[in-house]
Chain A
Amino acid sequence: MNRCLIACASASCLALLLMGCASGVQNPKGIPVTQMNADERGFVAGTGVESQDLVAVTDKMARSILGVRQVASAASTPRIVLEPVINETRFPINKDIFLTRIRTQLNSKSAGRMIFLAREQMAALENERKLKQTGAVTSSSDPNVVEFRGGDFLLTGKLQGLTTKTKAGTSDYILYSFQLVDARTSEIVWEDVAEIKKQGLEDAAYR
């Protein structure tokens, strides 16, 4: 009788402890974010643009642009104007950072085969020219002659996203596409894309 009662009490205690450990929710600890190849089928969906994406995408684009025939074999060194990247994803990002990294990669690797124009500095450049024209500062050339270069090519890009959210998690596919457009003819002389897909699941405490 006594042993039976003690056994029952012990079993009750054990049951209580086990009850406390059971949450009853599938994947309660969530699934960490995993970077995947774009062509790999994921188990759910993803997250935003991160530094490793930026590096991978801009490296690829810079390598690709260097091989463009119109740039590599141009009679004179082509001048390139950077146009703002358009963000069509659901992630707010500093878009200019893509073009900045592509430009720095190309400047360091092209050995002068292409030149970028600092159009974002136009206000400061025009102000400097006015100062020279008024004689407020010295000038090494005639400041009344326009020497600001026109661009031969426009380099721009677009980030587009596709988001899936299910009870299994969130997935984001981002397509990074860049173009080099001939400023005279409007022809797209080069275009390339990079794709990144990420997915993850938040902890059950946040679902």
Chain B
Amino acid sequence: MRRIADQAENEAPLFHTTMRLGCVQKAVRLAVGGMLAGFLFAGCSSSSTGKPVAGLSGDPIADGHRMMEAGKPEDRLLWGYRGAAAAMRRGQYSDAKRFLDEAVDRLNGMLGRDRTASKARSAFYRESKKTFYGEPYERAMAFYYRGILYWMDGEPDNARACFRSAQLADSDLKAESFSGDYVIMDYLDGLASLKLGADGADAFKRATARPRIAIPPAYDKEANVLFFVEFGMGPAKVAGGEYGELLQYRLGNSPVQSVRIRAGNYDVEAGPYDDLNFQATTRGGRAMDRILERKADVKRSTDAIGDAAIISGAVVGATSRDNEEAAFGLLAAGLVSKIFSAVTKPEADTRAWDNLPLFLTFAAIRLPEGRHSVSVEFLDAARKPVATFSKQLQITVPPAGRDKVVFVSDQSATPQNL
């Protein structure tokens, strides 16, 4: 009896501890389960109304129209951008306008609260959950292309408005050094002003103040055929850093370094005025970079804390039978911390307007009204034509008072009747 009583006496605290541990375990299980459920629901609570879409056709214009309609709402502009660039190169300007009109409207109205942007700032959502407007160099290109189309339609003042917006989209006045610095936007702003009877001198001065590659020529107000030329492959976005939290660029490249335009008695060579590699990589840091950096810090530290807590819990549990409760608490805390780390998403948004050119240039000549043959050769560093890119165009120059706007890319269709 004594032995039984002693045994009962010895076992009572153990039973009591087991009961208490059982309660703690239940509580921890509930807590962990609740948190897991919370994370799962958080992951499932996307507001996306995008419907499942079958495979893409590979045609950026058709895919653009289709995906804008049926794709994820936050990617709508991305598809529009890609479709617009392809449409410009094929001479399908009405398609390009449809894509770009929406882009310009939305870019001019992106101020204020945005639910998708709030999500993108949250630790538990990727940056790519936000509505895609593009980085400043991409936004600037949307305005640039729309400006070309306005000029094509005989609206140089609206074209100028787009070039001004492009320059503004590129500017970040946190530091003077990151203010809008596209040469071609200022140059075209000045040319449009001159043609509208205003003074384009200030814009020309800005355009020629900091040339990085080619220096644009003085304006010829009477030049009535305007060539907007682009070539090369633009920069691509990649994610760097331990968790992909750093937005980095893989620089674009181009075998073409300049362009030669032959029309009538003209033989004009133009070098690039702007380089999208430079524009993409020199604007300074984004506010989102700081947010992603914090997310990465949270992910890193919660992971480390989780490791430390789990190891500590195991050590405490293994070395002392009196501290099992604490050991379990540490293990649970470590697990929660690891889960927190796992669901933190610091990855940078690498969605990109992936069919942008590398270089932009411009040339203006005078031609009489009527039909003209134009050849455009894209020259390599040795100033020899890259045969695969040569274009043949038939253009119709309108009566005096209106400009003929010709858009040419090394990726443009050839021959073209414009």
Contacts and interface: CB of A to CB of B under 8 A. Distances in A.
A203 B113 contact: yes
A31 to B, nearest CB: 7
B82 interface: no
Interface in A1-18: 1-2, 5-6, 9-10, 12-13, 16-17
B118 A22 contact: no
B291 A204 contact: yes
Nearest to A87: B157
A201 B330 CA distance: 44
Contact of A16 (B150, B160, B298): B298
Contacts of A92: 104, 146-147, 150, 155, 158-159, 161-162, 165
Contacts of B330: 5, 9
B246 interface: no
A22 B309 contact: no
A127 interface: no
B305 interface: yes
B287 A1 contact: no
B112 A202 contact: yes
B198 A88 contact: yes
Contacts, number: 165
A59 B294 CA distance: 51
A29 interface: yes
Interface of A: 1-2, 5-6, 9-10, 12-13, 16-17, 19-25, 28-33, 47-48, 86-93, 95, 163, 165-167, 169-170, 200-207
Contacts of B146: 92
B127 A30 contact: no
Contacts of A30: 111-114, 117
Interface string B230-249: 00000000000000000000
Interface stretch (B214-222, B252-260, B336-344, B402-410): B336-344
B305 A12 contact: yes
Contacts of A91: 108, 161, 165
Interface in B315-333: 316, 323, 325-326, 329-330, 332-333
B161 A16 contact: no
Interface residues of B, number: 60
Given A30-B112, A30-B113, A92-B162, A204 B287 contact: yes
B386 interface: no
Interface string B6-23: 000000000000000000
Given A12-B337, A48-B108, A89-B164, 13 more contacts: A25-B290, A29-B113, A30-B111, A32-B113, A47-B108, A90-B168, A93-B161, A169-B111, A201-B112, A203-B112, A203-B118, A204-B291, A206-B114
Contact of B127 (A32, A86, A165, A205): A205
Given A92-B150, A166-B173, A29 B104 contact: no
Contact of A47 (B111, B159, B164, B329): B111
A105 B40 CA distance: 58
B333 A88 contact: no
Contacts of B337: 12-13, 16
Give 5 nearest A-B pairs by CB, closest first: A200-B111, A9-B333, A32-B112, A205-B117, A203-B117
B99 interface: no
Nearest to B147: A92
